[in-house]
Every structure is written in C-alpha cells, then in structure tokens.
A = this chain, B = another copy of it.
Amino acid sequence: MRGLLLLAACAVLLPAYADEGMWTFDNFPSAKVKQLYGAEITPAWLDHVRLSTIRLANCTASFVSADGLILTNHHCVEQCLAQLSTKNKSLMDTGFAAHNRKEEQRCPAQQADVLIGTENISDAVLSSGLGLNDAAANQARKKILTSLEQACEQSSAKAKSGKLVCQAVKLYQGGQFFLYMYKRYTDVRLVFAPETDIAAFGGDPDNFQFPRWSLDFSILRAYENNKPANTPNFLQINFAGPSADQLVFVAGDPGSTARLQTRAQLQFERDTSLPISLMRTSELRGRYIQFGKANPADERIVEAPLNSLQNGIKVRRKQLDALNDDALMAAKSAAEQKLRLSSQLTGADPWREIEAALTRERALYVPYTLIENGAGFSSTLFRDARLLVRGADERLKPNNDRLREFTEASIPLIERDLFARVPVYPEFEQLTLSFSLERMREWLGPDHPVVRKLLTKESPDELATRLIAETKLDDALLRHQLWVGGKAAVDASLDPMIELVRLIDGDARAIRKQYEDEVEAPIAAAAERIAAARFKAQGTNTYPDASFTLRLNYGTVQGWVENGTPVEPFTHLDRAFERATGASPFKIPDTWMKAKAQLDLRTPFCISTSNDIVGGNSGSPLIDASGKIVGLMFDGNIHSIAGHYWFNSANNRAIAVHPAIIREALEKVYGAKELLVELNAAPQHLAAAAKLSD
C-alpha cells in the first residue's frame, strides 16, 4: 500500500490540477478548462488546431507556414535521414540544410495526414456481430470495417474535397468505432535537420530525462503536384516561448496506452510480453553495438535502428517497473470489482472471459509472435517477400475477405514502401535474420515443426547468410515486377526468400487464425461489454486509450519534485556546454563550438510541462491559448513512461524544445535566414536582407 499512500500524500501538497486526458477533438472538455484556467477554447480554435496538426508515419507534426512548411522532431525524420544517406555519408552526422526549395529532398517513406472529419460508425460495427460466436463476430467486425472504409474512400473521391484516406478507429477498447478521414500528402521533403550530436545531445543516457538539452527539431515541407502545398491552416510560432505555470495544450497522435485494459491484461504484459521483449531487444542491442564497432561505415548503418531500439528498451523497462507496483495492481483490481458489482452485467463475467483468453495467449504468444508476427524473421527482405507472397494471394480475394493489412485502402502505402529505392545493407540484414532465427529455435525448441522445416541441415547463421546472399529482392525493380505480376509472377519466382515465405506461410496463417479466434476474438467481445458497462456507470465524459489518432490535452508549464528536490521547468544553453565531454553522445558539434561566442548562453533550451502525452506525440506542437506554438514536444520525463498504464499528475511530465533555441540555432549557428523569414522569426536585419534579395 505504500505506493498509493504516497500518491495521496502528494495530492495534498500539489495544486489540484489533474491535467490527465488524451481527448478526442469532438469531446474536449472546454468547459472544464474554462473553469480551471479561464481560457476560452472555441470550436473555431479546435478546428484551426486540428487542421494545422499533422500525423506523420510514426510521429506528429504541424504546419508552420502557408507554403506547407512542417515542424517536427529530428528523431521523427531519422528514418528519412538514414534512407537519404549512404554507407559512407550520413545525414545523421552532418545534418542537412536545403538552401533553396530545389534542394529540398523527398523522404522516400514519409507522408503527412491531416484529419478532415470523423464519423461515428459504432452502431453498424457493434451490431454486425450480434448473434454470432466470438470468433465469427470478430471476423464480421473486420469485414464491415473494410467495407465502410472502402465506401468512404469511394464517396470522397467523387466529392469536391478530393479523395480522402479513410481509416476505421476503435476507441474505448471497442466502446466506440469511428471513421477518420484524412487528407494525405504523399510528397514530403526534407528541408532542415541539425546534426544528431546536438539534436540528440545526451543520447540514450539522457533519453526520458529532464533537465535536458536536446535540439530535437527538424523541418519538412509538404508538396502537391511538385509544388509546395498551399496550407492556409498553420500555427504561428511565438519564439518567446511560454512562462512558468502558463496554460498550454498539446495536439497530436499519442500512439498507444493501456489505461483501460484489465488487470489480467496488465499482468500478461508484466509476466510475459514485457520480459520477452526486453530480453530480445537487449540482446539485439548488444549485437548492433558490437556490429557497429567494426568500422565507421557499419556504425552508420546501425545508428538509426540502434536509437530506435534503445528508446524501446527504456520504455519497456520503465513500463515493467510500473507494473511491478503491486499496490497499483491491487487498486486496478478494486476498481474492476466496483464496476463489476455496480454494472449488474448479465451473462458470463467479461473479466473472467479475458482471463480465460489470456491463458490461451500464454500458450500461443511465442509461436504467434515469432512465426506470424515476424519476430522469427527480422529482415527487411523477408518483410518484402511476405508482402509479395501474401499480397499476391490476398489481392485475388474480394476486398472485405482480405487480411486487413491488404485491403484496397492499405495498398498505396504497401506499394510506396515496396517500390522505394532505399538502401538495404546485406551485412545488417544477415545480422537481424540470423539473430531472429536463432532465438526462434531457442524459444520454440529445436524439435518444433517450423524449426525442423528450416534448420535441419543449416545453422541459423548459415541459413541467414545463404538467404541474404542469394535473394535478389534488394532490387526495387524486381520487387515492382513481382508485385505487378501478381500471383503468377510470385509463384514462378525461385528467389530463396520468396521460397522461405512460401514454405512457412501455411504455418504462419494457421497460428494467426488460432490466435485471432482464441485470443483476439474473446478479448474483443468481453472488452466491448466492459466498455458498455463503463459508459453506463461513468458516462462518456472520459477519454479513450491512445490509438495513434488525433487528441488534444491541456496542462501547464511546470517542473516537479524529485526525491524532495524541485526540478525547474526550463533549462538553458550554458549548461549544455558545461555537460559536453567531447565524445558522442555528449559531443557538441563543431558548428556550435565555432558559433559559441555569438550565442546567448542564457537562451532557454527545453521545457517541462504537465501535459499527458506518450510516444506518437513526438513532434507535437505545444500551443498557448491564443493558438500559437510555444514549444515542440519531443519526450517525457522518466515517470511519464508509467503513463502507459496510469497518469500520475505529481510527476508525469512532458518535455518540449523551447522555440527560442530553435531561432538561436537557425540564426546564429546555421545561418538559415530564408527559413527564419518563412517562420516569421527573422530579426529585423535578416528580414530586411531577405527582402532585398527577393
């Protein structure tokens, strides 16, 4: 009980702001914000912010000029930087600056989605499974989601707004279903990125830490018809930044939370999925690091995947810590028991049904994850081979009979990724494939039928080496031919990676079917009943779990108290120089060392706020009540990771880059005067100079 008592004690000492909540825009608690903070959040304000906010492939961003300029994090464009790099020249090391629009470079696998509208489809979806058993209801639900998405896209194509991307979204663990309609920009170009050494100053050791000094920003631009997009909805930047205690908002797409999951589901994460994941990723981290030591080129190859991996390790490590707090688990049980008693559900107890499904999941999780979910075959070329083999089979089926990832709505992104000419490093592919085959043998055992199929005469290393050496799928043209050629072309292919996929695809589909019917379906059915009970008991004045869809939350600029010591909400540039060691990840780039004399060392660097955000919110604008950007979210403090399961207002803090350091850098370190003019941030002499040069 210590944990809970401590929370209660803190609540007495701290201001009673519980700034919890990742609210959908249609259900934002404006009245509560007005009551607490006196600010007026109007429907027009909400529309403007929504239309200015962008969902990237795995991050958030926002328009910051009428010509499609986009502000996001450096770590959100890391994949683009890696794809535009070569083995011998890394844009991560050097940074990137387009001196004019012609130099702006297209990111091969990036898009920018703007949420245009939403439609509640709960009735249609929830009624589709009536009278069916769980497995059949689960299938029926998928079919209707595909049908509704297709109808939406088809009808938008005929409307004057132009074709939209329509995606079905499950909210409140199945309590509601929506269609989300996006305008999608598929031509997104890199405009500016600082060097990783300053963008990720402190590296993995400082990740999820505050105080902090990471210049984690970059600039992209959306294009349409090969011209900068016309984006009248954009957010102006207030380079002065916010003041302490100021009311601030974060708009963006938090990726995933588990706050509405049952205690049994959390226990499954604690006992099974998190430990397995942590062991797996920790070993892979060791392999990456050792691989990178061979030479600078190999170090560049692993840089981006290593950063992403290490971020995941830290997240899951602290998630495990959160779930190991038995007092909080007990509180979760008590809340469930209360809802169970008050809801007077008829029929089987849904919490027990989830427990029963999880018992099945404990048996199926490892084979499902390894064989179907790809953890046994970690390799870009394996992924491509499976897309080709399955895509050939699935595209022959009616749209709503397909696996959900191969519906018509999903094809454009598959094709973009499959056809992209991005570098594939065979030695790195060999590493990840060998590793994953070896762990598959360990976890399934050497006598498992799938393992016997693959590893009767070769070791994991030998098999991986041969496959990567002999496959030709690193050729984008060949991938294009096989995709366009469809089933005939794929069936005729003797590429060894295609053959591997074919060899195990029956096994993989079988374990998927079993998993969907025995785990996914009963959990979905029970979760929907729990959601209905919760709506009945608590109303809809609540927010759904994060689902990488647009949300808005409110908070204030503030630090917290760590072991009795207050942490201030702002950091400044001077301390970054003091912490530098000269060796990465604590190296300040030469560009900054040269400019140091010109820099104002008291420039604010990072900001801590009480906003409720998680991964996916990276790149989100921090917005003041007037709708101006006063910061760029890029991280949370270490306590924010527990926010995956519950929000503790006493110490959960979001972290932003301060706009003043962005201006200081663009002006004095990088001399990016055109950009500053476009951002309206130019000091007078710069603006004048820019005018003269027009």
Within 8 A of B (CB), among A283-300: 283-291, 293-294
Copy count, this protein chain: 2
Indicate if A324 sits at the interface (CB-CB under 8 A). Answer: yes
Query: Which residues of the partner chain B approach A435 to less than 8 Å between Cβ atoms?
Result: 286, 289
Query: Which residues of the partner chain B approach A445 to less than 8 Å between Cβ atoms?
Result: 205, 209
Query: Which residues of the partner chain B approach A283 to less than 8 Å between Cβ atoms?
Result: 282-283, 285-286, 289
Is there an interface contact between A275 and B206, defined as CB atoms closer than 8 Å? no
Closest to A586 in B: B446
A99 to B: closest C-beta gap in Å: 33
A300 to B: closest C-beta gap in Å: 16
Is there an interface contact between A321 and B271, defined as CB atoms closer than 8 Å? yes
Indicate if A26 sits at the interface (CB-CB under 8 A). Answer: no
A465 to B: closest C-beta gap in Å: 10
Indicate if A307 sits at the interface (CB-CB under 8 A). Answer: no
Indicate if A313 sits at the interface (CB-CB under 8 A). Answer: yes
Indicate if A279 sits at the interface (CB-CB under 8 A). Answer: yes
Rounded to whole angstroms, the CA-CA distance of A579 and B294 in the bound complex is 36
Given contacts A285-B283, A442-B205, contact A581 B278 (CB under 8 A): no
Rounded to whole angstroms, the CA-CA distance of A25 and B63 in the bound complex is 78
Given contacts A283-B285, A317-B279, contact A446 B583 (CB under 8 A): no
Indicate if A457 sits at the interface (CB-CB under 8 A). Answer: yes
A386 to B: closest C-beta gap in Å: 25
Query: Which residues of the partner chain B approach A2 to less than 8 Å between Cβ atoms?
Result: 359
Is there an interface contact between B583 and A462, defined as CB atoms closer than 8 Å? yes
Is there an interface contact between B290 and A431, defined as CB atoms closer than 8 Å? yes
Name the contact of A279 in the complex, choosing from B279, B290, B458, B586 (C-beta under 8 A): B279
Rounded to whole angstroms, the CA-CA distance of A583 and B464 in the bound complex is 14
A436 to B: closest C-beta gap in Å: 12
Beta-carbon contacts of A260-291 to B below 8 Å, as 1s and 0s?
Answer: 00000001001100010011101111111111
Indicate if A584 sits at the interface (CB-CB under 8 A). Answer: yes
Query: Which residues of the partner chain B approach A441 to less than 8 Å between Cβ atoms?
Result: 205
Within 8 A of B (CB), among A554-613: 579, 581-584, 586
Rounded to whole angstroms, the CA-CA distance of A231 and B149 in the bound complex is 83
Is there an interface contact between A204 and B442, defined as CB atoms closer than 8 Å? yes
Within 8 A of B (CB), among A450-469: 455-459, 461-462
Indicate if A633 sits at the interface (CB-CB under 8 A). Answer: no
Rounded to whole angstroms, the CA-CA distance of A289 and B286 in the bound complex is 9
Name the contact of A324 in the complex, choosing from B271, B286, B442 (C-beta under 8 A): B271
A298 to B: closest C-beta gap in Å: 11
Query: Which residues of the partner chain B approach A486 to less than 8 Å between Cβ atoms?
Result: none
A665 to B: closest C-beta gap in Å: 22
Given contacts A321-B271, A456-B581, A457-B581, contact A286 B279 (CB under 8 A): no
Given contacts A205-B446, A317-B279, A586-B446, contact A581 B286 (CB under 8 A): no
Residues of A that sit less than 8 Å from B by CB:
2, 202, 204-206, 209, 267, 270-271, 275, 278-280, 282-291, 293-294, 313, 317, 320-321, 324, 326, 359, 431, 435, 441-442, 445-447, 455-459, 461-462, 579, 581-584, 586
Q: Which 9 A-B pairs have the closest CB atoms?
A: A286-B286, A290-B290, A459-B583, A282-B282, A283-B286, A286-B287, A271-B324, A282-B283, A279-B282
